[in-house]
Structure 1
C-alpha cells in the first residue's frame, strides 16, 4: 500500500495496489488495480514535511507552485510569525514567465546554498516557492526579521548576478501561506489525480486504453443520494452498488462506474464533475479505482 497525503489539511489520499496474487500467495490471474480513497487523517503531532507541486494561474499568468502541505498541519507557528519572501528574477523568463529547465537548475543551486546558510531550523521554516511572472519567490516563516535578513544577505552576496530582494510581512495567521501557496480544492483534487495517474504510469500503463473507472460517493441521507442519482442521469455513469450505514456523518454510499481512458486531463474532469454534483446534493466524493492496463 502506498499512502500519499495532501488533499487538504485533514485529508489523506490512499492509493491501494491490489496485486495480481491474493494475500495467501495464490495467483488469481487478474490485472492489478489502483484505488484512491480519501478520509479524515489523524492529527499530526509535529511538522512532517509533505511537499507537493502543481500548476495554477496567478493574476492570469502560469504559476508553478511547490508547497509543504505538512506545514499547514502544525498546531502553531507562534515562534515564527513573520513571512519572508526571497524574490529572484529569472534572467530568461520565456513567453510564459516561468523560465527554462536550465534556469531552474541554476536557481536550485541558489536554493540549496540559501537553505544551507540560514542557521538553526527552529528560527525559520521554508514552506514553498512560486515560479511565475519572471520570478522565483521563496517563502519562509521566521522568528527574527533582522537575523534572517542578515543571513540571506550573506548567502546571496556570493551570487550578485541573481539580484534577489527580500520582503517581510507580519503574518501570524498564515494568511499568505494559504493564499499564495496552498492549493484550492480543485487543485488538491488535481494533485491527487496526478499522483494516481503517475502511479499507473510507473506500473507500465500507457493510460490510453479505455477501462472501467469506479467512483465512491457518500451522502447524509438516502434522499440526497437519490437526488444525486437523478442529477447525473444521461452522463454515462452506471450504478455499481449502494450500501447504507457506512459511517456516522454520511452513511449512504453510492458506487458509480464509467468506461474511459485515465489520462490526467480526462480523469480529472470526470472527478470534478462528480465532486461538484455531489456537493450540490450535500454529498462527498471519496475517490476512484481502476485497473492497470499494459
Structure 2
C-alpha cells in the first residue's frame, strides 16, 4: 500500500512540475513534406520533456474553410481558427490532465498536439467541443508516444532556427522599448569553450572578421565550458543581419568545442 501511495504521489508531482513549468510560446516558419508550414510551440517544455505518465500523444486536426493558396491560414479565417483552438485547448486542459505542446499549420489544416496519460474520457470532451463549430470538419487520434519525439524531434526547432527565434525575441523587446533598430551599434557576444586552445583558435578566426576581443576569463562555476570569451563589433541589428552573424559565430564555436551563449546591444531610443 505504501508503494502504491508513493508512486501516485510521484506521478502527481511530475505532472504538476510539467504543468507549472515556465511557458515560452513562440513560432517559426518551415517546410513540412515540401509544403509551407508554421509551427507554434511551448519552447519551455524542453526543460521537462519527456514527462513520465504523459506517454500518449493526442492530436486534433482542423480542416480550414478558407486557406491561402499555399495551404497556410488566411487573414480572413485566422481569428476563427484562434477561437476554435482556444476553446478546444481550454476544454481539454480544464477537464483533463493534459499538456498542450503546440500546433502545426500547413496543407490546409491546423493540427493541435497534446500529451496525456490513459484518459479515455478526453475524446468525449472533444466531441462536445466539435458541436460548437458545426461549419468545420475535424479529425483526431491518440497513440503512444512515451519518448515525446513528436515534440522533441518534430515541433522543436533545429539549433539554427532556435537561435533565430532567440534573436527575434530580443529584437521584439527592443522595439517595444522604442528602438527602431535602424542604427548600427556595438554588439557584444559571449562564447564559452572546453579548452583554452579552442578559445585561442576561435579568437584568431573572429579577429579576421573584424571582431574586437573585449575580455578573456576562466570561469570556475561552470562544469565543462570554463574558458569565456567576449567579443564585439559595430553591426546592424535587423533580424536578417543579426541572424547571419550570430549563426556564423555559433557554427564557429562548435568547430572549436565551444558554445555560443548569446549577444547584447544597447538600446537606442529617439526622444
When the two structures are superposed, what TM-score results if normalisation uses the length of structure 1?
0.78
Tell me, in whole angstroms, the C-alpha distance in 1 between the residues paired with 2:112 and 2:125: 15
Structure 2 counterpart of 1:283: 258
Deviation of 1:201 (Å): 0.8
Structure 2 counterpart of 1:180: 154
Which whole-Å deviations, capped at 9, do the CAs of 1:188-211 have from their partners, x for residues lacking one?
211211111011111111111111
Point out where structure 2 has 5 or more consecutive residues left out of the alignment.
Answer: 1-15
Structure 1 counterpart of 2:11: none
Tell me, in whole angstroms, the C-alpha distance in 2 between the residues paired with 1:178 and 1:201: 31
Structure 1 counterpart of 2:225: 250
* Structure 2 CA distance for partners of 1:67 and 1:255, relative to 1, 3 Å: same
Tell me, in whole angstroms, the C-alpha distance in 2 between the residues paired with 1:273 and 1:207: 21
Deviation of 1:232 (Å): 3.1
State whether residues 50 and 147 of structure 2, in contact with CA within 8 Å, keep that contact through their aligned partners in structure 1. no
The 4+ residue runs of structure 1 with deviation greater than 4 A are 119-122
Which whole-Å deviations, capped at 9, do the CAs of 1:108-144 have from their partners, x for residues lacking one?
1112222333375543221111111211000011334
| Structure 1 residue matching 2:190: 3-state secondary structure | strand
Equivalent of 2:235 in 260, 263, 272: 260
| Structure 1 residue matching 2:213: 3-state secondary structure | strand
State whether residues 142 and 148 of structure 1, in contact with CA within 8 Å, keep that contact through their aligned partners in structure 2. no
| Structure 1 vs Structure 2 CA RMSD | 2.1
Tell me, in whole angstroms, the C-alpha distance in 1 between the residues paired with 2:49 and 2:214: 41
Tell me, in whole angstroms, the C-alpha distance in 2 between the residues paired with 1:75 and 1:161: 36
Which whole-Å deviations, capped at 9, do the CAs of 1:54-100 have from their partners, x for residues lacking one?
22222233322211233343376333321111111222221332122
Structure 1 counterpart of 2:13: none
More helix by share: 2
Structure 2 counterpart of 1:191: 165
State whether residues 45 and 101 of structure 2, in contact with CA within 8 Å, keep that contact through their aligned partners in structure 1. yes
Tell me, in whole angstroms, the C-alpha distance in 1 between the residues paired with 2:218 and 2:97: 50
* Structure 2 CA distance for partners of 1:181 and 1:121, relative to 1, 3 Å: farther
The reply to whether residue 232 of structure 1 matches residue 215 of structure 2 is: no
Tell me, in whole angstroms, the C-alpha distance in 2 between the residues paired with 1:78 and 1:248: 27
| Structure 2 residue matching 1:275: 3-state secondary structure | helix
| Structure 1 residue matching 2:52: 3-state secondary structure | coil
Which whole-Å deviations, capped at 9, do the CAs of 1:211-246 have from their partners, x for residues lacking one?
111111111222111111223343222222222345
Tell me, in whole angstroms, the C-alpha distance in 1 between the residues paired with 2:210 and 2:93: 57
Tell me, in whole angstroms, the C-alpha distance in 1 between the residues paired with 2:131 and 2:219: 63
* Structure 2 CA distance for partners of 1:87 and 1:219, relative to 1, 3 Å: same
Structure 1 counterpart of 2:73: 99
Tell me, in whole angstroms, the C-alpha distance in 2 between the residues paired with 1:74 and 1:254: 30
Tell me, in whole angstroms, the C-alpha distance in 2 between the residues paired with 1:89 and 1:153: 15
* Structure 2 CA distance for partners of 1:62 and 1:198, relative to 1, 3 Å: same
**More divergent stretch after superposition (231-240 vs 268-277):** 231-240
When the two structures are superposed, what TM-score results if normalisation uses the length of structure 2?
0.84
State whether residues 215 and 257 of structure 1, in contact with CA within 8 Å, keep that contact through their aligned partners in structure 2. yes
The reply to whether residue 111 of structure 1 matches residue 82 of structure 2 is: no
Structure 1 counterpart of 2:195: 221
Tell me, in whole angstroms, the C-alpha distance in 2 between the residues paired with 1:107 and 1:158: 13
| Structure 2 residue matching 1:276: 3-state secondary structure | helix
Equivalent of 1:274 in 240, 246, 249: 249
